[in-house]
Amino acid sequence: RRPQRDRDLYGLPPSALGVSREVLLGEFPGDAPRQAPRGASPPPTTLEQYLEFALEQGYAGAWPWSFSGTDDYGRLPHEPLLAFARRHPELVLSLVLQSTWPAMDAYYRSWVRFVQWLVEYAPSERAFLEGFFLDIYTARAHNDGTVDQFIEEVLAFPHKQKAEDLQRYLEPLVDHDTTDRRPQISAPTLVLAGGRDPGARPALGRRVAELIPAARFEVMEEEAHQPFQEVPDEWNARVAAFWRE
């Protein structure tokens, strides 16, 4: 279970998700002390092993909290997720893709390069977060104190991602292109975009939906990159409605 101070990304009871078993939650691989999930010996050391362990132990699902760019299956965390889905297609009943793109355009690539520069030259961790979050959250969240709260939570977290691991994640992200693989997705898919997201703009999300045969595309006009944090009730309602269908 997530610590009480953490926001619940879904906020739905198990019955609403159609599950009655535990969901495996944990920090992986990150810089946290290795704590093996109950029954795992030795503990999983890759995201792939983490997911396979959750499946073998009968968990309803798995939610690794973060990625450090050190997984054996590549530096981009969604690659082992895709590999797992290809091996277990019966488990993939639907997909929800938030703030996504098939390939970055010139504007988005430039923003990622700016973030790489910011990682190296921001005068402090707080300064980095203040700059980075400008393109992640809405002006509303900056003005009402929500972003300040997020920053304080990040600063207080004891097991932070290392700067070099973040760079290892960002570097291949710039040229990563999944255009040719999106049509292979057969599961019903909800693609969501924030109308005020300057990076993963609605035009990029719409292109993803056009490539996936069974996709629906929706824009949350007043939201940015992570509406599941800013307006969780509205985001949950959209996802729940999609799942009910």
Provide the pairing of β-strand 61-64 with 95-98: unpaired
The whole-chain average pLDDT of the chain stands at 79
- Say how far apart CA 72 and CA 6 lie, in whole Å: 28
> What confidence score (pLDDT) does residue 130 get?
97
Percent of the chain with pLDDT over 90: 45
Reported as a single tens digit per residue, the pLDDT across 59-107 is 666 665 544 444 443 456 566 676 777 778 888 888 899 999 999 999 9
CA angle (189 as vertex; 187, 190 as ends), nearest 5: 165
Percent of the chain with pLDDT over 70: 71
Average pLDDT over residues 195-214: 96
What is the number of helices (H) and of strands (E) in the chain? 11, 5
- Residue with the bigger pLDDT between 231 and 33: it is 231
Average pLDDT over residues 145-154: 94
What is this structure's pTM? Answer: 0.79
